[in-house]
Amino acid sequence: MSHPHPELSFPPELAAGAVRIVALGGLGEVGRNMSVIEYAGRLLIVDCGVLFPEDHHPGVDLILPDFEYIVDRLDDIDAIVLTHGHEDHIGAVPYLLRLKADIPLIGSTLTLAMIEAKLREYKIKPYTLTVAEGQREKLGSFDCEFVAVNHSIPDALAVFIRTPGGTILHTGDFKMDQLPLDGRITDLRAFARFGEEGVDLFMTDSTNAEVPGFTTGEREIAPAIETVFRNASRRVIVACFSSHVHRVQQVLDAAHANGRKVAMVGRSMLRNMGIAEELGYLTVPPGVLVDLKKLTDYPDNKIVLICTGSQGEPMAALSRMANRDHKIEVGDGDTVLLASSLIPGNENAVYRIINGLMRLGAEVVHKGNAQVHVSGHASAGELLYCYNIVKPRNVMPIHGEWRHLVANAELAVKTGVPRSRVVLAEDGVVVDLVNGVAGIVGAVPCGYVYVDGSTVGETTEALLKDRRILRDEGFVTIIVVRDAATGKVAAGPEILTRGFAEDQDVFDEVKPKLEEALADAASNGVTDSFQLQQIIRRTVGTWLGGRLRRRPMIIPIVIDA
């Protein structure tokens, strides 16, 4: 795919004094967040994240933003501002810095620590600038002020971007928890101050725009987690995001209160929590944390495991436990706590994990049957507050599927933003802010870029279609040996199949049709191997569709002898 609006042409040159915004990810999807802001020929990037593959992306490890729009303009980038440390906001940074390693990274202490640890694996030493709430920095052509926002990871920031062509308030991911675990609330006073100064474009998180009221506070789930620990008869296995510091803190506190030892499972979990503890964002009660190898020293009712895999990722620890492909064997009496909400698109994978764990005898506690997780995103009531405080001149909903963006747009309209000033855009759609008015002016190519093993960008939609066919329909190979001198069939056709429930004998029905089609081709002077392969493919494909109601991959092989 290039972009979802084929009716839009490539945008014209940016007018003098105007600001351009192009989202290369995060609009129409939950993940891959990346916005490119342009003024006077210079670029500022806000976030650079990944999207995790779904069932229709077989074999794919990660999905990146499409850098094609900026690949020839890397020298024009003044900085990359990272709002917080979640993978869907920082995960693609290594792939961009591979193209130009000295692009400055701007972010909070924890965010930069997490991306620096990730970049060390890629042998990239970045140029970074640590910022904090209340700080204002001139980043080339962009005057940026950073604002504290509350989210499901510490040290998240919104950014207010001032340019001579207009002002932009980008919230990043946020909510308005009034009693956060770290005491760091979303700075609505700063939002109000920006509103008084004038916010020309408000780019705001849409993830929970469909959810009425206010997002439940983090502290309110502590009793539910405590209950799980108190009632568990054997081990407690907690699955959450490897960056969810607040949730891990609650688990550590509950384990300590119940006399349990905690071991962390998974490289990303160990790395991120080590960083959080070192920087003071995670407080580990004394004597609670133990090495995974030493768990055999403790009885099962004194053990807690914290692992990754809450979204059903196939290679994560929890998925492998459910599939009996992990050294930790889940069994009767174990309690598995899924301390996360479902990312849209991951539902089936997560339910498969839940079913697999329960089949092994575990009790599974999740958001559907207990109050063990709260969202990190503002619900409709909080968004309404923000619109009334900021009073933006234009609104561009970000971070969410299309239904989330539409719901957020309707909230803006309800608070008095003219509908004509609410811009609904998707990835690749170009929005210009000209004389205080935002509008769509075109679109740029913005497809999915797949990380597939060691390759980046080589996997195409056609290849994924082939994989889906192989997975869902199987394949048929037809081998024909042709006499090189006469062009007549010397042997075959031999038919080999994989992925069919039917007995091999059923394919004997198509052999006479094949022989007839090949004889007709020979009598008509068809000698080209490719043309013969096409004839074989059409003949077998038509028969399969009519007889077996299947559309497998068909691989014809013509051998000259």
Task: Say how far apart CA 149 and CA 111 lie, in whole Å.
Answer: 13
- Is 1 part of a structural domain of the chain? no
Q: Identify which of 334, 396, 311, 401 has the alpha carbon closest to the alpha carbon of residue 4.
A: 401
Residues 154 and 233 in one domain: no
Task: Say how far apart CA 22 and CA 79 lie, in whole Å.
Answer: 15
Print the domain residue range for 380. 21-214+376-456
Residues 497 and 447 in one domain: no
Residues 141 and 271 in one domain: no
**Structure tokens belonging to residue 389:** 């405080």
Domain edge (last residue) among 401, 428, 456 = 456
Domain edge (last residue) among 456, 482, 510 = 456
Residue 108 has φ and ψ, to the nearest 5°, of: -75, 170
Q: What is the pLDDT of residue 420?
A: 94
Check residue 443 and report its DSSP letter: E
Residues 174 and 223 in one domain: no
Position 251, amino acid:
V
Position 111, amino acid:
T
Residues 210 and 242 in one domain: no
- Residue carrying structure tokens 């009885």: 299
Is the CB of residue 134 less than 8 Å from the CB of residue 141? no
Residues 233 and 322 in one domain: yes
Q: What is the pLDDT of residue 315?
A: 62
Q: Which residues contact 212 (CB under 8 A, 6 or more apart)?
A: 379, 380, 381
Q: Cα separations (Å) of 58 from 61, 95, 311, 459?
A: 9, 21, 16, 11
Q: Cα separations (Å) of 148 from 31, 131, 330, 551?
A: 22, 11, 41, 54
Position 336, amino acid:
V
Residues 95 and 166 in one domain: yes
Strands (E), 375-519: 395-398, 429-434, 437-443, 449-452, 455-456, 475-482, 489-498
At residue 502, the 3 state secondary structure works out as: coil
Walking along the chain (561 residues) 10 residues at a time, the average pLDDT comes out as 64 94 92 95 96 66 87 96 94 94 96 94 93 96 96 95 97 94 94 97 96 91 88 88 87 92 88 92 91 86 83 70 83 85 68 85 81 87 97 96 95 96 94 95 86 64 63 73 67 72 72 75 70 78 75 76 69
Strands (E), 236-323: 236-239, 261-264, 303-307
Q: Which residues contact 102 (CB under 8 A, 6 or more apart)?
A: 127
Task: Say how far apart CA 491 and CA 71 lie, in whole Å.
Answer: 53
- Is 3 part of a structural domain of the chain? no
Angle between helices 267-278 and 109-121 (to 10 degrees): 140
Give the CATH number, domain containing residue 127: 3.60.15.10
Task: Say how far apart CA 45 and CA 71 lie, in whole Å.
Answer: 13
Q: What is the pLDDT of residue 151?
A: 94
Task: Say how far apart CA 470 and CA 464 lie, in whole Å.
Answer: 10
Domain edge (last residue) among 335, 365, 395 = 365
- Residue carrying structure tokens 């999207």: 51
At residue 212, the 3 state secondary structure works out as: coil
- Is 123 part of a structural domain of the chain? yes
**Structure tokens belonging to residue 169:** 């308030």
Check residue 208 and report its DSSP letter: B
**How many other CB atoms are there within 10 angstroms of residue 375's CB atom?**
18
- Is 9 part of a structural domain of the chain? no
Please state whether the peptide bond connecting residue 6 to the residue before it is cis, i.e. omega within 30 degrees of 0: no
- Is 6 part of a structural domain of the chain? no
Q: What is the pLDDT of residue 556?
A: 78
Q: pTM, whole model, 2 decimals?
A: 0.82
Give the CATH number, domain containing residue 516: 3.10.20.580
Residues 191 and 81 in one domain: yes
Is the CB of residue 215 less than 8 Å from the CB of residue 178? no
Q: What is the pLDDT of residue 554?
A: 78
Is the CB of residue 143 less than 8 Å from the CB of residue 343? no
- Is 47 part of a structural domain of the chain? yes
DSSP letter for each residue of 237-257: EEE--TT-HHHHHHHHHHHHH
Q: Identify which of 504, 486, 488 has the alpha carbon closest to the alpha carbon of residue 496.
A: 504
Q: Identify which of 234, 232, 262, 231 has the alpha carbon closest to the alpha carbon of residue 247.
A: 262
Give the CATH number, domain containing residue 238: 3.40.50.10710
Structural domain count, the chain: 3
Residues 428 and 287 in one domain: no
Residues 249 and 337 in one domain: yes
- Is 143 part of a structural domain of the chain? yes
Residues 357 and 387 in one domain: no
Show the CA angle centred on residue 207, arms to residues 204 and 213, nearest 5°. 90
Q: What is the pLDDT of residue 2?
A: 37
Q: What is the pLDDT of residue 350?
A: 79
Task: Say how far apart CA 416 and CA 393 lie, in whole Å.
Answer: 10
Show the CA angle centred on residue 101, arms to residues 159 and 67, nearest 5°. 70
- Is 242 part of a structural domain of the chain? yes
Residues 79 and 50 in one domain: yes
